[in-house]
Amino acid sequence: MRIDLHTHSHVSDGTDSPEQVMRDAHSAGLDVVALTDHDSTLGWEAAARQARDLGLIFVPGCEISAKYHGISVHILAYLHDPTHERIRAHETRVVTARRDRARLMVERLAEDFPITWDVVLDQTQPGTTVGRPHIADALVAVGVVPHRSAAFDTLLTTSSPYYVHHYAPDVIEAVEMIAQAGGVSVFAHPGASARGEVVGDHTINGMIDAGLDGLEIHHRDNPPHQRERLTEIARRRGVLITGSSDYHGDGKPNRLGENTTTQTVFAQIEERGMGAVVRP
């Protein structure tokens, strides 16, 4: 079985609908696929329906944005209860905070570039949580940068004068929240040093002590030396090792199935989670 447990739709920062992500997954020869939009489960129903029709096994998930002393940390949650009180409160707060933050960033950018809030909204779909990717797409639309990656490398980087910080829970709080909602938690791309500072072994061990189930080691943004470090931690602490594409449609170069998770690990995730995968 070919298993990809990290994809995004236009509900968060992907470019395609949940249904299209499933169709692309089928075309890529996948057997199992998870939809893991940032801090949102709104795409689950549509994705599950399309996956079932295509004969795919669908895994409900999301990617929780957290922080550790200013370092951005993303935690994949699988098979959790989307109606759990803490999960719903988190998602509500994130939507408001991201929208307010995006408005402020656009106001700052508009002082120097021909960008407006309406142009940003033109890059979204109904129900989309507005964020930096949509600002990047707006900058492309008005001709300021050639593509989304160029915007993130320059105007939208964390060191940019236009950048605005946003709400995110502490990593331990996020891991505990997922566990309380009956979910399985996996630290997404934990060695992605090109994106910025990564957390050290002590922090990862603390997350494992708090209930973290696994590490997403096989990911294009984890360089070889980080994969070695993370594999040693995973083996020493007995946590799951996953691999995924982190697919965003045309928003990133990542391709479906470029990294995958073993059937054995997938079975363990399914066994641990409170929720159920959707089978055809």
Element (H, E) at 264: helix 263-272
User: What are the tens digits of pLDDT across the range 107-123?
Assistant: 999 999 999 999 999 99
Whole-angstrom distance, CA of residue 218 vs CA of residue 39: 22
What SS3 state is found at 98? Answer: helix
User: Residue range 141-149: average pLDDT?
Assistant: 94
pLDDT tens, 160-217?
A: 999 998 889 999 999 999 999 999 999 999 999 988 899 999 999 999 999 999 999 9
β strands within the chain, DSSP E: 3-4, 32-35, 57-68, 71-78, 184-187, 214-218, 240-243
What's the confidence (pLDDT) of residue 242? 98
pLDDT of residue 27: 98
Contact assessment for residue 32 and residue 56, using Cβ atoms and an 8 Å cutoff? yes
Angstrom distance (rounded) from CA 60 to CA 81: 10
- Mean pLDDT to the nearest integer, 129-154: 93
Residues in CB range of 50: below 8 A, 6 or more apart: 18, 19, 22, 23
Grade residue 125 by pLDDT with cuts at 50, 70 and 90: confident
Q: Name, in order, each residue with C-beta under 8 angstroms of 199's C-beta and a sequence gap of 6 or more.
A: 68, 71, 73, 171, 190
Sign of CA dihedral 164, 248, 69, 212: positive
Residue 271 CB neighbours (<10 A):
9
Our measurement of the distance from residue 157's CA atom to the centroid of its chain's CA atoms, rounded to an integer in Å, reads 18
| Domains and their CATH numbers in the chain | 3-80+182-272 (3.20.20.140)
| Amino acid letter, 27 | S
pLDDT for res 70: 86
Distance CA 241, CA 109 (A): 40
Q: Which residue has the higher pLDDT, 126 or 271?
A: 271
**Is the pLDDT confidence value at 158 over 90?**
no
What pLDDT shows up at residue 223?
97
Closest CA to 187 of 168, 212, 169: 212
pLDDT tens-digit series, residues 43-78: 999 999 999 999 999 999 999 999 999 899 999 999
Report the pLDDT value the prediction gives residue 211, as an integer from 0 to 100.
98
End-to-end alpha-carbon separation of the chain, Å? 15
